[in-house]
Amino acid sequence: MFSKQIFVLVHQLGDRSFYPNYKKLLNSQWKTYSEQKEDQEKQLRHMISFAYSNIPYYRKLFNSLKLDPSDITGLADLEKLPILTKDIIKENWEDFKPVGLDQMKYYVNSTGGSTGTPFKYRLLKYDRFLSGAMLYRGWGYAGYELGDKMVFLAGSSLDVGSKSVILTKAHEVSRNLRKLSSFDMGSGEMQKYADVMNSFRPRYLRGYASSINLFASYIMENDVEILSPSSVFTTAEKLLPNMRANIEDAFDCDVYDAYGLNDGGVGAYECSEHNGLHIDTERSIMEIIDDNGSQMEDGVGSILATSLHNYAMPFIRYDTGDMGHIIEDQCGCGRKSKLLKEVIGRQQEMLQTPEGKFVHASFFNYIFKYIDGAREYQVIQTTLEKLVIKIVPHHNFDKKQLDIITSFIHNKSPFWNVEFEIVDSIERTKAGKYKFVISELK
């Protein structure tokens, strides 16, 4: 109880709306989808009106399209507007500044890492704390309560290793958590991480999917005794099926995946039914669109985000660079929100054959289901004709399997030259993330 009081107090000091919003979110998760959609569209109309009146870029855009804010009344009307990209924002940076920006409380954030060069954007303080409240609600699908003990195993995108020792310690104490770096994961460090898990006794473990998977492999291979958390939360990277199984075996608990972006504000969280990720509706609008830009109710498409509360820098139909598989099923947990079956991955995770065909990264997930003893792998397309595949082997890895991998790839394209590298580790991005497929083609 005391840890919850401290946790709430610290957040309330940051923004007084935090706890009232959190309590509202706990109730709104049980609304029907039509009620959620009605709330979304009401806030969308407000945001569109604000953007037109206060942001030069959107006023010019609407005028060029001969549109009035009153023409955008619902989710379907968003199709009248073009897709917003990072390049457009960079080229029109000054025109994205709202009137009265100097009177707003906001943060200047940046994203980049595995997606390329850093991209700066503004995030309203209110929206940031709303994001936190929605994150905690999402964890609540697995039973989390405010102030529960948690260990983070991640890099800079989850604020691990990006602050001074004093600030980090203050953050850990006030939020009842411990931060472990995914930048330092040798055997010595991972033994220390196991010691932290056993002494701190967290209820939850959260971090990058690949980092937790590597930690899980260390525990299994070295027969390390560890106190099991109630659940593991993965984020920031695609959780592959073999990763989920490995993590669940090592920690003897369920894994809950999540998807979220602060630039755009979209989010989705897995519940105990494990039927998919429940798409949040209160902070943003998530669209899944086909190649023609049309909204989809079922199938795989590009994920667009429209922020509903970030008045410091509204994103309207923002291309997240991700692809998702939306489904029409309803979850048995009782929540009526739309479901993402999975986040397929970055749009950049597409490889091109010499014949001109494109192959999605999930093709290599399929191949490695049939390969034993590969702890991690990374596929790099260096030229149109050449693939370099790095493999971190277990002790039981048989190099004869390289012929099997080559055979699978040549069935897709006989003109791909395949080169293998057996390595001790796969290099992470500057943010500590693991990319299992990289295309170096322009």
What CATH number corresponds to the domain at position 180? Answer: 3.40.50.12780
pLDDT digits (tens, 9 = 90+) for 274-317: 999 999 999 999 999 998 889 999 999 999 999 999 999 999 99
Q: What is the reported pLDDT for 442?
A: 67
Statement to judge: residues 40 and 183 lie in one domain: yes
Statement to judge: residues 144 and 210 lie in one domain: yes
Statement to judge: residues 132 and 176 lie in one domain: yes
Q: What is the reported pLDDT for 348?
A: 47
**Residue after which a domain boundary falls, among 329, 346, 363:** 346
Long-range Cβ pairs for the range 58-64 (8 Å, 24+): 58/314, 58/316, 60/95
Q: What is the reported pLDDT for 116?
A: 40
pLDDT surpassing 90 at residue 43: yes
Statement to judge: residues 339 and 369 lie in one domain: no
Confidence class for position 159, pLDDT limits 50, 70, 90: low
Within 8 A by CB and 6+ apart from 343, the residues are 238, 259, 268, 277, 303, 322, 323, 324, 325
Q: Which CATH number goes with the domain that contains 386?
A: 3.30.300.30
209, 210, 216, 221: CA torsion to nearest 10: 160
Other beta carbons within 10 Å of 111: 18
Query: Taking CA 101 as the corner, what is the angle to CA 99 and CA 106, rounded to the nearest 5 degrees?
Result: 150
**What average pLDDT score do residues 398-403 get?**
94
Q: How far apart are CA 391 and CA 55, in angstroms?
A: 49
Domain boundaries, position 100: 1-346
Q: State how far Cα 262 lies from the chain centre.
A: 9
Statement to judge: residues 303 and 382 lie in one domain: no
Statement to judge: residues 372 and 325 lie in one domain: no
Q: What percent of the chain has pLDDT over 70?
A: 91
Bigger pLDDT: 351 or 429? 351
- Supply the mean pLDDT for the chain: 90
pTM of the model: 0.82
**Residue after which a domain boundary falls, among 293, 316, 346:** 346
The domain tally of the chain equals: 2
Other beta carbons within 10 Å of 50: 16
Residue 175 DSSP SS3: helix
Confidence class for position 206, pLDDT limits 50, 70, 90: very high
Statement to judge: residues 302 and 422 lie in one domain: no
Q: How far apart are CA 338 and CA 261, in angstroms?
A: 17
**Residue after which a domain boundary falls, among 287, 321, 346:** 346
Statement to judge: residues 285 and 409 lie in one domain: no
Statement to judge: residues 170 and 135 lie in one domain: yes
Statement to judge: residues 10 and 159 lie in one domain: yes
Statement to judge: residues 27 and 153 lie in one domain: yes
Statement to judge: residues 331 and 394 lie in one domain: no
